[in-house]
Amino acid sequence: MILTVTPNPSLDRTYEVPSLDRGEVIRATGERMDPGGKGVNVSRAVAAAGRRTVAVLPLGGAPGAVVADLLHAQGIEVTAVRVAGATRSNIALAESDGVLTKINAPGPELSAAEQELLLETVHEHSRDAEWIACCGSLPRGLAPSWYADVVARAHDGGARIALDTSGRALLEALRARPDVVKPNAEELSEAVGRPLATVGDAVKAAEELREMGARAVLASLGADGQLLVDGSGAWFGSAHVEVVRSNVGAGDSSLAGFLIAGGTGPEALASAVAHGAAAVQLPGSVMPSPGDLDLAAVTVTAEVPVDRVLKEPVS
């Protein structure tokens, strides 16, 4: 079972539009409503693959009830921690050329009692989990060290931890030695405090995160591919994608693919790349099913192209 933890979930509305013109009336050509949040998306991708997943998340108000209903409809077991504030609602505008504009609400502020209940709930369910994926930003009220507490308690229970967050929350959690962290290029750059211009720069940054405590780093480099850096070395994975329809949740789908395939080594990286490539070709935040994957289009190599200039360098 893969347990996911989403401290700041959302109800996501995605509108497909021809183009985004400020000050104009824009008529959407398509729309979706999905349960949102990085951990929620990981659960959705795991469930789409036919694997059991339990989503732990704080839910409140009418939007929270809709999120729970949508997750149940996708075969996901939901363990809700009831909170007084309403679950946030986010909006995404997906243009026909692949450009995505997102408006993310801040979400409710959790009380001290709600924070402790969330932590205890995660610990209670971690005993049955093969992997725990802790993902996303922390809501108001939670200290940056909250993820570090989750990692420490999970390790005490024998579970492995995958962490996908950024900023101070990531740096604090590294000291608790998560089994794998999954930054994108921008988050990786922020963590080490310098720009990334090449794949080699990203490898060096990932190695620094390992020195800070991460046992493995799965780094998404957008259109350039993905890196896996662990104690045995580094691998680079990529896949050709014809058309990008939406990149919402693509990184979360990649993490799900990595964990589904065992969460270690080049085979897991290949699964991560295949899931991410499939996700960007689907509308909104739709998660890929096994029939959407094209493993034959994925290349994974230990000969990392360190001199390759990133198509989207991070400054």
What positions carry a catalytic annotation? 252
- 99/101 Cα distance (integer angstroms): 7
3-state per-residue secondary structure call for the chain: CEEEECCCCEEEEEEEECCCCCCCCCCCCEEEEEEECHHHHHHHHHHHCCCCEEEEEEECHHHHHHHHHHHHHCCCEEEEEECCCCCEEEEEEEECCCCEEEECCCCCECCHHHHHHHHHHHHHHHHHCCEEEEECCCCECCCCCHHHHHHHHHHHCCCEEEEECCHHHHHHHHCCCCCEECCEHHHHHHHHCCCEEEHHHHHHHHHHHHHHCCCCEEEECHHHCEEEEECCEEEEEEECCCCCCCCCCHHHHHHHHHHHCCCCHHHHHHHHHHHHHHHCCCCCCCCCCHHHCCHHHEEEECCCCCCCEEEEEEC
Comparing C-alpha atoms, which of 149, 170, 151 is closest to residue 160?
A: 151
